[in-house]
Amino acid sequence: MLTDRCRRLLTAYVDGELTARQQEAALRLLHASPEARELLRRMQQDATALRMLPRQRLDRDLSAPIVQLIAERRLQSGWRQRPRLDRQPNFPAWAGFSAAAAALLLVALGSYLYFSAAMEEGPEKKAVAKGETVLPVRPADKPIHDVRREQTALPKNERDGAVPVKPSDPESVPAPEVAQAPNEPGPGKTPDAAIVA
Amino acid sequence: MNADDQRLIAPCLDGDSAAFGELVRRYQDRLYNTVYRLVENPDDALDVIQDAFLNAYQSLDGFKGDSLFFTWLYRIAVNTAISHRRKQRVLLSIDGDRNGASSLQPLDDSAFSRPGEALERAEQEQRIQHALSRLSPEHRAVLILKDMEGQKYEAMADILGVPVGTIRSRLHRARAELRGLLEKEEA
């Protein structure tokens, strides 16, 4: 029983569309298989019978009726959509290349800026998204010391998370208001002479 | 693209339908034989040819020139014939006795002097034509293009708008199917 592959090879043999390698394979198959030879004979017989069918010829000229139909139906030949190949472009070729180059440069610059910003923020953002504590980046010139020791040195209320009280700058703290007794001069003021007398 | 065809296509695109008439005259016979074999009826074949030429005229701007004009025209005609065949509900057989409408011409005039051979040939033609008519339009088209028109795989692929591998497969199945139908008739 011939395989489908062998049958396809024989079909291509009848069609005359074999490569040199396929031709050799077909000849080996035909040499070895009587079934293949019989199938080839029948297919070639069919192809010859098709070729021998009488060729049909028209006994009339269709050109005039078709031209008349074109006129009657007012058909267009598609000339409106015809590409205007004979027309010169309105701008020089280098302008197009320049525009394309500018566009590529913009895309490249935008990509660079975007990914640069993403790289700077990226690690911290990712950690926060995961719920991790983000430690500040320590400058290279400052010594590394144990943060936990710092935390234990702080007063208890600060260690517990209260807002730490910074040592205040005397100049920045407004002077407290002092309650004044009646007729007592305010700070920096001399007493009223009438009262003293 | 053929230079002669180009000299006729350019005025057609400018609206000169008379130039298109020359193209019709040039290719009508080649198209007719294939279309006739596909639709198996001379009147239908004429209708299909006419439709194919009118469609070609209207879509002439779609011809890019990357293949022969005849291949492009052939594609339109074959597709129109296949579509027409699909719509047909009744399979028609060749009727050579149709009064005044037949365009069939005998291939060999000596058939009249050797009636035995002529009869045998006529019977063989009837058998093969009958088997061909029972094939699907796609299978019939590839056998006609290959065996009757002598087209190569690549040209057939271009005409039918399918890959070469599809042409190869279709021909294989078409030949197998034709062989099966002929064996059934012989039995």
What does the pLDDT look like over B158-175, one tens digit per residue? 999 999 999 999 999 999
B52 in A contact zone (CB under 8 Å): no
Q: What percent of chain B has pLDDT over 70?
A: 84
Residue A129: pLDDT band (50, 70, 90) is: low
Per residue in A83-116, pLDDT tens?
455 555 566 778 888 889 999 999 999 999 988 8
* A152 pLDDT more than 80: no
Q: What percent of chain A has pLDDT over 70?
A: 54
- What is the rounded CA–CA span in Å between residue B155 and residue B75? 10
Give the tokens for residue B24.
Answer: 């019709």
Question: Which stretch of A96-100, B39-43, B90-94, B119-123 has the lowest confidence by average pLDDT?
Answer: B90-94
Reference B30, options B11, B8, B7, B53; nearest CA is B53
Residue A29 and residue A9 in contact, taking contact as beta carbons nearer than 8 Å? yes
Residue of B172, B181, B183 to mutate, interface with A, max A Cβ within 10 Å: B172
For chain A, positions 69-88, list CB contacts with chain B under 8 A.
Answer: 69-71, 73, 75-79, 81-83
* A80 pLDDT more than 70: no
In the block, which residue shows the tokens 């995961």?
A130
Residue B84 and residue B39 in contact, taking contact as beta carbons nearer than 8 Å? yes
The ipTM is 0.78
| Stronger pLDDT, A197 or B20, i.e. the higher one | B20
B15 in A contact zone (CB under 8 Å): yes
Q: Nearest C-alpha of chain B: how many angstroms from A97? A: 26
Q: Looking at residue A89, what DSSP letter applies? A: P
pLDDT in the model for residue B126: 87
DSSP B145-184: IIIIT---HHHHHHHHTS-HHHHHHHHHHHHHHHHHHHHH
* A144 pLDDT more than 70: no
Residue B93: pLDDT band (50, 70, 90) is: very low
| Stronger pLDDT, B65 or A113, i.e. the higher one | A113
pLDDT in the model for residue A90: 61
- Asked if the Cβ–Cβ distance from A77 to B124 is below 8 Å, we say no
Q: What percent of chain B has pLDDT over 90?
A: 47
**Chain centroid to CA A127:** 26
Q: b/e map of B78-108 (b: 16 or more CB within 10 Å)?
A: bbbbbebbeeeeeeeebeeeeeeeebbeeee
Residue B117: pLDDT band (50, 70, 90) is: confident
In the block, which residue shows the tokens 């007794």?
A181
pLDDT in the model for residue A94: 82
Task: Name the residue in chain A with its Cα closest to that of B52.
Answer: A66
- What is the rounded CA–CA span in Å between residue B164 and residue B162? 7
Residue B78 and residue B156 in contact, taking contact as beta carbons nearer than 8 Å? no
Per residue in A23-45, pLDDT tens?
999 999 999 999 999 999 999 99
Q: Nearest C-alpha of chain B: how many angstroms from A105? A: 35
Phi-psi region of A91 (alpha: psi -120 to 50; beta: other; left: phi over 0): beta
Residue B33 and residue A56 in contact, taking contact as beta carbons nearer than 8 Å? yes
Q: Report chain A's mean pLDDT, rounded to a whole number.
A: 72
Section A7-22 average pLDDT: 94
Give the tokens for residue A64.
Answer: 């005039």
**Cα-based distances in Å from B76 to A74, A120, B22, B54, B81:** 21, 62, 18, 10, 9
| Stronger pLDDT, B41 or B103, i.e. the higher one | B41
Reference B105, options A53, A50, A57, A62; nearest CA is A57
Which distant-in-sequence residues (6+ apart) come within 8 Å of B162 by Cβ? B170
Give the nearest partner residue to A76 out of B58, B121, B152, using CB atoms. Answer: B58
pLDDT in the model for residue B66: 75
Residue A134: pLDDT band (50, 70, 90) is: low
- Asked if the Cβ–Cβ distance from B28 to A62 is below 8 Å, we say yes
Residue of A4, A70, A73, A84 to mutate, interface with B, max B Cβ within 10 Å: A70
**Chain centroid to CA A150:** 48
- What is the rounded CA–CA span in Å between residue B174 and residue B146? 11
- What is the rounded CA–CA span in Å between residue B62 and residue B97? 41
Helix axes A34-51, A20-32, angle to 10 degrees: 120
Reference B41, options B7, B14, B81, B10; nearest CA is B81
* B19 pLDDT more than 50: yes
* A193 pLDDT more than 80: no
B187 in A contact zone (CB under 8 Å): no
Q: Report chain B's mean pLDDT, rounded to a whole number.
A: 83
B168 vs A contacts (CB less than 8 Å):
8, 11-12, 17
Reference B83, options B40, B48, B58; nearest CA is B48
Per DSSP (E only), the strands in A73-155 are: none
Residue B2 and residue B68 in contact, taking contact as beta carbons nearer than 8 Å? yes
